[in-house]
Each structure stands twice: as structure tokens, then as C-alpha cells.
């Protein structure tokens, strides 16, 4: 999936390098004031520092798979992260630590680790974007998240104008969050992952994956089987990029699963008594994570629900908002997201929050 980007929306000149729609999986976004490409960690730092010297705002963009850019674009400097590669920086009999450049396409990395017999990322197969984006979002799927294997993140600290290495314990990892998210202080340069030397996966934690593999939760399976099954499950939900499938022209899950205090969860149960028990999972601190997809569907927004200009909920997955027409404006997608958010709140009293980063637009 190296360098897989959707085509720009109709009306956007595809030969214009500053049109940011070219660089996002949603195919949305206006122009950049200035567009720079960085192919190494050193060049990333250089491009950011040069923009700061010019007193320009800076936006760092890699795979474009978890961002919604407004129709006005970004008036400052956009630095495209195109660094590549990984190398082993530590190893012992049981583990290997791999340092991965920020621009390395994520699924290429996962495929390589599976082929090497390194366990720890196999259930994160098929996720679009770059390796450097994974700690920002604490990317997770099918029972794995990157916080479990990351040991350190190298980043450029824009406040102190220095490159630092941040230990995993200091990254503030939480559900789909970290110190890097919603902050322009840090520019991720590389990520260290400690993986296990093993031909089999970690214990299967996700019931859907277990059923698809024909095993019980807690069982282990060959790495290749785990990867192939995750790819099949994701493709069935339109969550693997495909230029011929408009359902994949999205940022994946648009809303995070809400995490509620116990009292709020009990109120939700009361308001949904006529619909059955909301799908939920216990979290530390007596919190409860609830299925955003269930809330959306039960609020009247089913798969395929259409918004303006051809934007729509994916026909395969309730959580994905898509630019199916390829001709929409970002404002149309934002309008659909607001409609869904407000509808869920009106029905259940629960506020959904967007998972992607929003640039020059707001829900």
C-alpha cells in the first residue's frame, strides 16, 4: 500500500502540487500556502525550522489517512513526510527492537514484520497511513494497539528547537490518544517498536477475529493467518484502501467509541431500554466504552446514509464517512458529521468525538 492516495475531487486541478486533496484518503482539502517534501529525519527538521524562520504556520502531513482538511486548505507551510526505512537497533534471544522512519508506509512495515517472524503488529494489518502517525493516535485494532510495542519516539521539539527521544512511559498513551495528538509542539521523526521473535501471534483478544480464525479468545495462530484474516475483515468493512471502492475514500472510523462514567452509562441504558443492551466493554477506573457504531445506527443513521454532495456513511461500516462522489467539499462531510453527532446526542445523550485531526474546519 505504499504511497496510496485517493484522487482529488472534481474541480481540483490534479496537476497542482499544492492542492491538499491529492494527499488525503478522503480526497478533500484546499491549497497549501507552501508545500515542501522531506525524505529524511534531518530534512523534516530542516523544513520545519525554515518555515518557522519565515514565521509561517506549519502542518506536517504524511499518509493523509487520519485528517480532514478544510476547503480553505492551510495557509502556511505543509511538510510532506516521505522518509522511508527501518532497521534493527537492539535484539536478544526473544525480542527485536526496530527503529522505523516516520514516513514508512504502515502496512508495508506490518507485512515485513510478519515475514520476519516478529510478533506484535500483525492485528494492525491493513491500516493506511505512515508509521510516524501511529503513536500520535495510539493506533489500535482487533485487540492490539501500538502502545503495547512502542518503546520510544524520536521527535523534533518545536518549543525547545531540539530533537528528543521520548520513552513510551512519557508519551501519555491512552485510548486513541497521546501527548502528540492535538499538539503542534512535536514532530515525530521515528518510532521504536519492540517485537517478539515468534512464528505465532499474541493471544487473540478480539472475539470477531477469533470467530473468523476459528479459534477461542486467548489462542494463538500463525502470524500470516492473523494478518490475512485481519486484512479480509477490514476489506469487508471498506477499511483497506482501494482506488476502485468509494467506501474506502474515508479516514476509517470517523468517531471514537465514547468512554463513559458508570453513571452516564446507566443513563444510556435507560434511554436505550427499548433497543436492548448497548454493546460495551469495561475500562479501568469503572469506566465503560460503548460502541459508537451502535449508537449511530440506532439513532437512524444506517449504512449508506447520504449527506450533501455525495458524502455518505459507508455502505460497509457505520463508522466510516466517505467522499463517495469524489466531488464533495470538506464542508459537506463536516455537515454530515455534525448531523450524526447531534442526532446521537438527541437520542441517547452521548456526545461523539471525531477521531481524525481537523485542519481549518470544526465539527
Instruction: Report, as residue numbers or ranges, the catalytic residues.
Output: 176, 253, 355
Contacting residues for 259 by C-beta, under 8 A, at least 6 apart? 175, 283, 287, 288, 289, 290
Cα separation, 283 vs 125, whole angstroms: 25
Cβ neighbourhood burial of 33 (10 Å; 0-12, 13-18, 19+): middle
Under DSSP, is residue 33 helix (H, G, I), strand (E, B) or coil? strand
Alpha helices, DSSP H only, in the chain? 41-53, 106-116, 134-137, 207-213, 223-236, 262-271, 292-298, 330-348
Cβ neighbourhood burial of 102 (10 Å; 0-12, 13-18, 19+): buried
What are the respective helix, strand and coil percentages of the chain, to the nearest 5?
30, 30, 40
Residue 115: phi and psi, rounded to 5, are -65, -30
- Closest by CA position to 226, among listed 205, 247, 195: 205
Contact 129, 106 (CB under 8 A): yes
Contact 193, 150 (CB under 8 A): yes
Contact 193, 146 (CB under 8 A): yes
Amino acid at each position: 500500500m505504499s504511497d496510496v492516495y485517493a484522487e482529488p475531487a472534481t474541480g481540483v486541478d490534479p496537476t497542482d502540487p499544492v492542492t491538499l486533496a491529492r494527499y488525503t484518503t478522503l480526497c478533500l482539502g484546499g491549497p497549501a500556502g507552501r508545500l515542501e517534501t522531506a525524505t529524511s529525519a534531518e530534512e523534516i527538521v530542516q523544513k520545519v525550522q525554515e518555515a518557522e524562520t519565515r514565521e509561517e504556520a506549519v502542518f506536517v502531513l504524511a499518509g493523509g489517512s487520519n485528517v480532514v482538511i478544510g476547503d480553505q486548505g492551510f495557509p502556511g507551510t505543509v511538510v510532506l513526510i516521505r522518509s522511508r526505512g527501518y532497521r534493527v537497533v537492539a535484539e536478544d534471544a526473544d525480542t527485536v527492537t526496530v527503529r522505523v522512519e516516520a514516513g514508512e508506509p504502515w502496512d508495508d512495515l506490518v507485512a515485513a514484520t510478519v515475514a520476519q517472524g516478529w510478533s506484535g503488529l500483525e492485528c494492525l494489518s491493513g491500516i493506511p497511513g505512515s508509521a510516524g502517525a501511529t503513536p500520535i493516535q495510539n493506533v489500535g485494532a482487533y485487540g492490539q494497539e501500538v502502545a503495547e510495542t512502542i518503546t520510544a519516539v524520536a521527535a523534533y521539539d518545536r518549543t525547545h528547537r531540539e530533537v528528543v527521544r521520548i520513552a513510551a512511559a512519557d508519551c501519555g498513551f491512552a485510548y486513541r490518544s497521546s501527548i502528540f495528538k492535538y499538539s503542534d509542539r512535536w514532530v515525530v521523526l521515528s518510532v521504536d517498536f519492540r517485537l517478539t521473535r515468534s512464528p505465532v501471534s499474541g493471544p487473540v483478544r478480539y472475539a470477531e477475529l477469533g470467530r473468523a480464525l476459528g479459534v477461542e479468545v486467548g489462542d494463538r495462530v500463525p502470524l500470516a493467518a492473523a494478518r490475512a484474516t485481519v486484512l479480509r475483515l477490514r476489506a469487508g468493512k471498506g477499511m483497506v484502501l482501494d482506488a476502485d471502492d468509494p467506501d474506502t475514500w474515508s479516514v476509517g472510523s470517523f468517531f471514537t467509541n465514547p468512554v463513559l462514567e458508570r453513571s452516564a452509562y446507566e443513563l444510556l441504558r435507560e434511554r436505550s431500554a427499548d433497543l436492548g443492551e448497548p454493546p460495551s466493554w469495561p475500562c479501568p477506573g469503572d469506566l465503560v466504552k460503548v460502541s459508537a457504531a451502535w449508537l449511530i445506527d440506532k439513532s437512524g443513521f444506517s449504512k449508506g446514509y447520504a449527506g450533501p454532495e455525495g458524502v455518505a456513511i459507508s455502505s460497509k461500516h457505520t463508522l466510516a464517512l466517505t467522499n463517495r462522489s469524489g466531488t464533495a467539499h470538506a464542508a459537506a462531510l463536516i455537515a454530515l458529521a455534525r448531523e450524526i453527532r447531534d442526532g446521537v446526542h438527541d437520542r441517547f445523550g452521548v456526545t461523539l468525538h471525531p477521531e481524525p485531526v481537523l485542519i481549518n474546519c470544526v465539527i
